[in-house]
Amino acid sequence: MALTIMEVYKILPKSNCKECGFPTCMAFAMQVTAMTKNLEDCPKISSEAQEKFSEASAAPMKLVKVGTGNNVFEFGQETVMFRHEKKFYNPCGIAVRIPASLSDEEMLKKIDKINKSEFFRVGKKLKVSLTAVEVDNCSQPDARARLASERSSVPLVLIGTNPSKMNLAVDAIKAKKPLIYKATPENIDSFIDIAAQAQVPLAICGNSLEETADLVDKARNKKIDQIALAFDSKNPAETIKNLTITRRAALTKNFRSFGYPAIVNIEEQDEEIQSALASAFAVKYAGIVIVDTTSPEALLPVLTAIGNIYTDPQVPNAVESKLYEIGSPNENSPVMFTTNFSLTYFSVAGEVERSKIPAYICVVDTEGLGVLNSYAGDKISVDKVVKTMKEQKVAEKVKHRKLIIPGLLAIFKGEIEDISEWKVIVGTENARGIPALLHQLKDKGTYDA
């Protein structure tokens, strides 16, 4: 059971020394129970108290690290079942499988695709997190693992169940700290020894949740604490149920045998099914999902879903309120305004870039709300738009006084013209219409000097 505030307070020195950074020991106890501080952060706590309560005060889910140095993927250490309760911390990683059937040349080509699998969405980089290399059917698993490790720009997962093959592969790249996938009831003892000797994380899978818990306990008894719970995708509904059960047992029941993140291996060949399953598992508690595809059309929806679910619901998804220059605008370039909701801004900016017509975008602070929501919530007004343009000194950037406003705020047109020097052009209601509008205005000579 997790400690209560009073249980933590009773073992503290109660000196209110403030050396922990908090004004009182009670305030520090509150941080410990909220899992934002550890007992060890108290400089005066006794070693006896630390040992006695370390297990009870530990995070309910272990943080697992794959890789080394700056090339590390971290998963786990989640604290809630539902995002709205607090937030999810370490985003699910996508691992792309390298089949043993591929030649070395084909493997290197696929790894190059993995390395280049990066996308930018609403100002954030989304990418494949891991390369998953099959070793069981390789004649030289050590050479295979070494070659993949040298070429891959992301950490490795080694896939296999054969102890001798896995031992060779792990030993070849143990300094890179790969994740071993996976230990089963048939090979658990050998895989525990391999993981323990190389000090690398180990994924464990039983034929049932009860057996998985027993296998995890066996690994824990051998002092292995970097563990992942492994599942397959043969029955997606059953997999999601098991992901939910293990997460709930760890977070709400403090069941230590399930206090580890999960990894799911998808073996479907159809790219659309892979994408759909990966998205479902990623948003329903998987820490790593293994897929075959490197197709951008299949990967981007999954990475987008992960990016969405792992944002902080208590922090607006907003960009800085300032004047943005798209392309290389000059004194005759178009001027428009929008809100500082990230998705709105990047949609508008992306369409302006697509038009190939440089422009200025004045971003108004709406506390991270889009156009309609900010209008309905009274977070944007004519006065605020005009004031923002003055603060950003938009008039000093251009000779003309023509302002394109969002089509959804056409009602602002008359009032903006009444209280400012700007003449209003009502824009489109959807960002995708911006390129056509800008070219239409250019053809009319609207912004000619």
Prior bond of 109 cis (ω within 30°): no
Is the pLDDT at 153 greater than 50? The verdict is: yes
CA atoms within 13 A on the CB side of 231: 34
CATH of the domain at 392: 3.40.50.11600
Q: Are residues 253 and 346 in the same domain?
A: no
Q: Are residues 289 and 145 in the same domain?
A: yes
User: What is the dihedral angle through the alpha carbons of 436, 438, 442, 446, rounded to the nearest 10 degrees?
Assistant: 130
What is the pLDDT, as a whole number, of residue 84?
83
- Band of pLDDT at residue 120, cut at 50, 70 and 90: confident
Q: Are residues 410 and 360 in the same domain?
A: yes
Please check whether residue 317 lies inside any domain of the structure. no
Under DSSP, the state recorded for 435 is H
Q: Which residues pair with 73 in a beta bridge?
A: 66
Q: Which residues pair with 360 in a beta bridge?
A: 325, 335
What is the pLDDT, as a whole number, of residue 6?
87
CATH of the domain at 97: 3.20.20.20
Please check whether residue 229 lies inside any domain of the structure. yes
The predicted-structure confidence for 180-203, as pLDDT tens digits, reads as follows 999 999 999 999 999 999 999 999
Mean pLDDT for 124-135 is: 94
* Residue 244 structure tokens: 């939910």
Domains contained in the chain, number: 3
The predicted-structure confidence for 342-378, as pLDDT tens digits, reads as follows 989 999 999 999 999 999 999 999 999 999 999 999 9
Q: Are residues 290 and 398 in the same domain?
A: no
* Radius of gyration (C-alpha) of the chain in whole angstroms: 27
Q: Are residues 43 and 77 in the same domain?
A: no
- Band of pLDDT at residue 449, cut at 50, 70 and 90: very low
Measured CA distances, 187 to 161, 183, 204 (Å): 7, 6, 10
Q: Are residues 203 and 263 in the same domain?
A: yes
Q: What amino acid is encoded at 7 in this protein?
A: E
* Residue (of 430, 324, 321, 431) closest to 379 by Cα position: 321
- Band of pLDDT at residue 108, cut at 50, 70 and 90: very high
Please check whether residue 94 lies inside any domain of the structure. yes
Mean pLDDT for 144-171 is: 97
Q: How far does Cα 184 stand from its chain's mean position? A: 29
What is the pLDDT, as a whole number, of residue 312?
79
Q: Are residues 372 and 332 in the same domain?
A: yes
Q: Are residues 209 and 88 in the same domain?
A: yes
What is the pLDDT, as a whole number, of residue 164?
96
Q: Are residues 286 and 224 in the same domain?
A: yes
Q: What are phi and psi of 63, to 5 degrees?
A: -85, 125
Please check whether residue 448 lies inside any domain of the structure. no
Sequence-ordered alpha helix ranges (H) in 183-235 = 188-198, 209-221
Please check whether residue 316 lies inside any domain of the structure. no
Please check whether residue 449 lies inside any domain of the structure. no
- Structural domain harbouring 387: 323-443
Out of 285, 309, 333, a domain closes at 309
Cβ contacts of residue 339 below 8 Å, gap of 6+?
345, 363, 364, 366, 369, 370, 371, 374, 380
Q: Are residues 284 and 371 in the same domain?
A: no
Q: Are residues 69 and 49 in the same domain?
A: no
Please check whether residue 315 lies inside any domain of the structure. no
Under DSSP, the state recorded for 446 is T
**Distance (Å, rounded) from C-alpha 52 to C-alpha 48?**
6
Mean pLDDT for 113-130 is: 90
Q: What are phi and psi of 224, to 5 degrees?
A: -95, 120
Please check whether residue 405 lies inside any domain of the structure. yes
Q: Are residues 305 and 364 in the same domain?
A: no
What is the pLDDT, as a whole number, of residue 264?
97
Out of 309, 344, 363, a domain closes at 309
Out of 35, 57, 79, a domain closes at 57
Specify the higher pLDDT residue, 304 or 449.
304
The predicted-structure confidence for 245-261, as pLDDT tens digits, reads as follows 999 999 998 899 999 99
